[in-house]
Amino acid sequence: MGLYDQSIAVLGGRGMLGTDLCQTLRAAGCRVTALDLPEFDITAADQTDRALTGVAAVVNCAAYTNVDGAEAHRELAAAVNERAVGQLGQLAAARGVYVLHISTDFVFDGDLDRPYRETDAPRPISVYGASKLAGEQALQAAGGAYAIVRVQWTYGRAGQNFISKFLSRADTTDDLAMVADQVGAPTWTCDVSAALLELLEQRRKGLYHYAAAGYASRFEVAEAILAERGLRGKRLRPCRTADFPAAARRPLNSRFDCAAIDAVLARPRPHWRAALAQYLAGG
C-alpha cells in the first residue's frame, strides 16, 4: 500500500508549518487529519491515542514555541515539547505508526565555526532548546519507527514569523535595525512541506537537518526583504543580538549542513533568496 492509500495525522495542523504541510499532502492525494488546539491537546494521552487510530503515519508539528516565554514556563514547555513527544512515540510504537517529528536549530549553542551536522553534540542554551532536545531523545527512546527533522528560521502565511514581524515594523517606521550576528537560512514552510512529503513517501528513519540553501545574517535577510518589496526609502542599520536583551539566549550560528537530507531528496533545496522572492510575490 502506497502513501496515497493511507491516512496521515498532522498534529499542530493549523500552525504555520502544519497548515502548509496539510495542503501539500492533500494536493498529493493523501488523506489527512489536521489536529490542533483547542479540540486537540498533545499532552493528553487519550487524545493522542485516538489521533493514531487508523493512521499509518503521524507528523508532529505541535510544539510550545515561545522561546522567551519558555524561560518562565518551564513546566509547560517540558509538557508539550518533551513528555508529550515521548508519549506520542510510545503510543505510535505500540500501534506500528511511523512518526515524523519536527525539531529545531535551538538544540545547538551556536558557537561552532561551521555549519552544524546531525552528528554534532547538541548544547541548548535556552529552556526552549533544552525541551526540544529532550523531546527528540524521548522519541528515540520510545522504540518505534521515526524520523526527526530539525528546521530553522521558518516562515509561512499562517502565523507570525521573522518576515511578517519585520514588514509590520517597516509599515510604521523608516528607521529599522536588525541583528547582523545571527547567521542561518530563512526557510519557507512550503519547501519544508515538500521535503517532508518525500520523507513520508520513503519512510525514512533517523535524524535530518533541513533549511533553504545558502546562508545569510538576519540583517542580510532584512535587506533582501526591503529590496524585494521596493522599500528603498527605509534606513536599515546593523546591530548586535546583545543590543536587544531577551529572556532566552539565541544561537548566533544556526547554519545547517544538509548533506544527509540532500542525499535522499529528489527535489533540490531552493536557495533562500529565490524562495523569499517567491513568497513575497505571493507564490
How many Å apart are CA 281 and CA 283, to the nearest integer? 6
For 246, residues 6+ apart whose C-beta sits below 8 A from its C-beta are 67, 68
Length of the chain, in residues: 283
* φ/ψ (deg, to 5) at 158: -100, 105
Active site residues: 128
- DSSP codes, 216-253: EEHHHHHHHHHHHHT-TT-EEEEE-GGGS--SS---SB
One-letter-per-residue 3-state SS of 24-41: HHHHCCCEEEEECCCCCC
Q: Which residue has the cell 494521552?
A: 45
The three cell numbers locating residue 210 = 533541513
Question: Do 104 and 152 form a contact (C-beta atoms < 8 A)?
Answer: yes
